Chains A and B, each alone.
Chain A
Amino acid sequence: MTIDTGRSDNLADLLRTNTAALTARWVEVAAATLRGRLTTAELERELAELYNALLAGVDSGSRDVAAEPYAELRALLTDMSRRRARTGFSPSETAVTVYALKQAVFELIDNDAVEGGLREVVAFSRLLDAFGLQTFESYAKAREEVIDEQAEQLLELTTPVVKLWDGVLAVPLVGTLDSARTQVVMEKLLEALVTTGAAHAIIDITGVLAVDTQVAQHLLKTVMAARLMGAECTISGIRPHIAQTIVALGIEFGDITTKSSLADALRHALRRSGVEFTAAERRR
């Protein structure tokens, strides 16, 4: 008995003989859900490729999505979801593109009343479901990659070392201080101390939402490292609620100079380097 393979061929035959009609209908159904964000020509090209890969797979008689004959189709789908993820499509929109073929095929089966259709339809439906799910997975993976990239960029972006005055550097910290970021901050600050020959560094934590023991430990280590390089380090931007929390937590900053604002810290640094402030005398 070769019922199974016979029926498989049935499906393959159906797909092959109706290639033009099915791809046209597929493009039509898929285009409706994409609301014109892809041109019809683009979609046609994309889906024709997928269709040929699917046909090649079905032709082999296999209905197992993980099987070798479907490798090309899997690769194409992964590519497609990646492209879509990067251009801002939602995962459902991507999956619906795949499921649209179901509608096209079912309509055809309805019209033609293909013999022994039910088993065929179930197998085909299961196949497409699996491929739809795969687009979801690739989509999520592509999005994760985007997020990782952005996190890395943020790490670089949010830690500028700025020169406030001759010999005075400042690092304004914003957001969350974790180990990775502190490492970047420390490296950048120490490098800048060497290249500029600055004797003062100000770490401003106005933009840090909460100072817990880990953040404090990171700050202390950075200050110690700067000191070892002969620079004086001030921590500024300690707001009232942060100060109270630090005290309650029991963190001691020891002999490290701290200031409530960046302006105070700058004035302190300038005074230490011998710059005097005098109100300009008004001359008549």
Chain B
Amino acid sequence: MDLFKFFSKETPSKDVAKERLKLILIHDRANVSPQFLEMVKGDIIRVISDYAEIDESGLEIKLTRAGEQGTSSPALVANIPIKKMKEFGR
């Protein structure tokens, strides 16, 4: 047995491959281009900005899969850091 590997916590490369594949296939299957994500991002900023002041540089939007173990349906996840809520938004 590989003693060195036994003590190290390195993930087996096949698990790395599987994770990478799962993610890339979500993109391939959804046929989503980076431009599409940029367009969505722009629109989200526009809409949210009416209600809150947001940190545009920290805004992150990505395509991932729904649920913990779900491999089937893709999900759009956006992380939008809010600096300050606007008055009428409350």
**Do chains A and B interact in one complex?**
no
A interface with B by C-beta (< 8 Å): none
